[in-house]
Structure formats: C-alpha cells, structure tokens
C-alpha cells in the first residue's frame, strides 16, 4: 500500500467529515474505519480530532502509522 492507496481509501469513506472534531460519534466511526481498513489498532489517546478530525489529518495519521512517506 502506498500514499495514493491510502488517500483513495479514505476518500471512499464518506463518513469522514470536516467537522468530525465536533462530533464524537463521527470520530469513533473514523477510528473504526481506520482500524478495519488499514489494520491499525488505535489507542484511546490517538482517537482525537488532531489525528482523525479531517480528511487530511486522517490521511497523515494513517501514513505515519503505516510508515509510508507522504
């Protein structure tokens, strides 16, 4: 998987919203998506708006966790 694949998978997931940081349920949906699709186990501390609140934040977080250059 490369950065292009990660970007495409995240865009496919329509529930990632720009306002996820204001909606805890949306943030949890994004966390479950990341765990299911990318096989990343998230800690409670990682489930936050900084990591998962926007498309760009989620993409950067996933790339970092998978150690894929951006």
Q: What is the pLDDT of residues 16-33, one digit of tens each?
A: 565 555 678 888 989 999
Question: Structural domain boundaries of the chain?
Answer: 3-65
Nearby residues of 35 by Cβ (< 8 Å), 6 or more positions away: 41, 42
State the pLDDT confidence band at 65, using cuts at 50, 70 and 90: very high
Question: Mean pLDDT across the stretch 30-50?
Answer: 94
Nearby residues of 60 by Cβ (< 8 Å), 6 or more positions away: 70
Which DSSP string do the residues of the chain spell out, in sequence order? --HHHHHHHHHH-TT--TTGGG-HHHHHHHHHHHHHHH-PPPPGGG-SHHHHSSHHHHHHHHHHHTT---
């Amino acid at each position: 998987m490369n950065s292009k694949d990660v970007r495409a998978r995240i865009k496919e997931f329509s529930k990632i919203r720009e306002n996820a940081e204001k909606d805890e349920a949306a943030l949890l949906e994004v966390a479950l998506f990341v765990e299911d699709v990318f096989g990343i186990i998230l800690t409670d501390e990682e489930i936050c708006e900084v990591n998962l609140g926007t498309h760009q934040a989620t993409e950067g977080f996933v790339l970092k966790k998978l150690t894929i250059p951006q």
